[in-house]
């Protein structure tokens, strides 16, 4: 009895990662329901992972360097100075910062509670989940450099749209107090904004920084690979069972309606920034218009359901509505412009 109790206690402490659990569960279902698809899916995932390894290694190295050197602490500097300069700086820092749509929430709470104007915060808020150096490398490996460059420009543009759009509306009383009552200052997640830390560009001269580089590389590598495996697995099933003519009919013509539809679908269907890239690559290969794929990634990256729920809990309704409007409007505009670019 005592032994079984100890086993239960140990089991309760084990934190099973949901992404790996999902992949294992899907592989199990394939083996039971459609066993003939099991080996093709395994081969598809294996080949895709091998193909992306060079870009994955570069992404992991950059993320580890940022963590070991403390370069990610530069973010707070984007919000200092005149607001007309702070907005574009915030958009640039957002587009190159390693935060997902949910991970950026504590930073936003810290910034707003410190009295930083909403306009540059909105610019950072919108641009941050859309692109970072790691995402750029993964996107280049899956969708090509043209798509990666266009998505980077889209991230900056959406951030600028939100920042200057908010500035134009800043005189209205509804934006005077953006945070809901009782919202804190971002907790420990906002410490990198509140506390200025030293940056060690030559981190390898310090023993503890070398150790941090290794731990950050392992952390970043395992994070990326688990989501990529799940994405490749879903892509293999999509290619096997979703008729390409469905995708072509829904989002294949690159028109306003198809791109707007892709933006709306991106909100609930978006899993993770890194997992979404190979899924969109598969959709485009199956007939989705490139502009619709871009709109899917932009809308889903900013307003995925977990992020939208977190923002709704953090910000007052007018700010939440602006956040949704800027993200969807920016997604549709980015999709249309990219579609036009690809057909030139």
Contact 250, 207 (CB under 8 A): no
Q: Evaluate the CA torsion angle 246, 247, 248, 250 in order and state its sign.
A: positive
At residue 183, the pLDDT reads 58
At residue 268, the pLDDT reads 62
At residue 35, the pLDDT reads 94
pLDDT per position as a tens digit, 207-224:
898 999 999 889 888 887
pTM beyond cutoff 0.85: no
At residue 5, the pLDDT reads 43
At residue 158, the pLDDT reads 94
At residue 46, the pLDDT reads 93
- Give Cα 311 to chain centroid, integer Å: 15
All residue ranges of the chain with pLDDT < 50 are: 1-14, 186-191
As a whole number, the mean pLDDT across the chain is 79
Nearest Cα residue to 267 out of 309, 311, 305: 305
Return contacts of 74-79, CB within 8 angstroms, 24+ apart. Answer: 74/199, 75/107, 75/124, 75/192, 75/193, 76/192, 76/193, 76/194, 76/196, 78/120, 78/124, 79/111, 79/116, 79/120, 79/121, 79/124
At residue 244, the pLDDT reads 59
Locate tokens 């003519």: which residue? 245
At residue 10, the pLDDT reads 38
Task: Give, as one character, the DSSP assignment of residue 144.
Answer: -
- Distance CA(274)–CA(235), nearest Å, equals 13
At residue 7, the pLDDT reads 39
pLDDT per position as a tens digit, 296-339:
899 888 876 656 766 777 788 888 889 889 999 999 999 999 99
């Amino acid at each position: 009895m005592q032994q079984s109790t100890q086993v239960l206690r140990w089991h309760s402490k084990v934190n099973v990662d949901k992404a790996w659990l999902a992949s294992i569960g899907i592989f199990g279902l394939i083996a039971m329901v459609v066993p003939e698809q099991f080996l093709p899916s395994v081969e598809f995932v294996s080949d895709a992972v091998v193909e992306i390894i060079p870009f994955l290694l570069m992404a992991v190295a950059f993320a580890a360097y940022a963590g070991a050197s403390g370069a990610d602490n530069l973010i707070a500097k984007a919000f200092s100075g005149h607001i007309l300069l702070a907005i574009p700086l915030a958009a640039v820092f957002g587009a190159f910062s390693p935060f997902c749509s949910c991970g950026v929430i504590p930073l936003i709470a810290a910034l707003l509670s410190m009295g930083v104007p909403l306009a540059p915060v909105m610019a950072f808020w919108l641009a941050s989940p859309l692109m970072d150096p790691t995402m750029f490398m993964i996107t280049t490996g899956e969708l090509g450099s043209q798509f990666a460059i266009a998505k980077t420009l889209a991230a900056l543009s959406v951030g600028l749209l939100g920042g200057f759009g908010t500035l134009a509306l800043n005189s209205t009383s509804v934006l005077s107090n953006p945070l809901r009552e009782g919202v804190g200052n971002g907790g420990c997640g906002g410490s990198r904004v509140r506390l200025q830390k030293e940056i060690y560009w030559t981190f390898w001269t310090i023993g503890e920084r070398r150790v941090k580089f290794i731990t950050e590389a392992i952390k970043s590598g395992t994070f990326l690979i688990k989501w990529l495996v799940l994405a490749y697995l879903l892509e293999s099933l999509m290619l096997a069972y979703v008729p390409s003519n469905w995708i072509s009919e829904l989002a294949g013509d690159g028109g306003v309606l198809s791109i707007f539809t892709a933006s709306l679908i991106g909100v609930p269907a978006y899993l993770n920034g890194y997992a979404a890239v190979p899924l969109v690559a598969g959709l485009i290969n199956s007939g989705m218009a490139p502009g619709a794929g871009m709109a899917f990634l932009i809308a889903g990256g900013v307003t995925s359901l977990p992020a939208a729920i977190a923002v709704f809990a953090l910000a007052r309704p007018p700010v939440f509505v602006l956040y949704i409007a800027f993200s969807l409007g920016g997604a549709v505009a980015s999709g249309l412009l990219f579609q036009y670019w690809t057909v030139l």
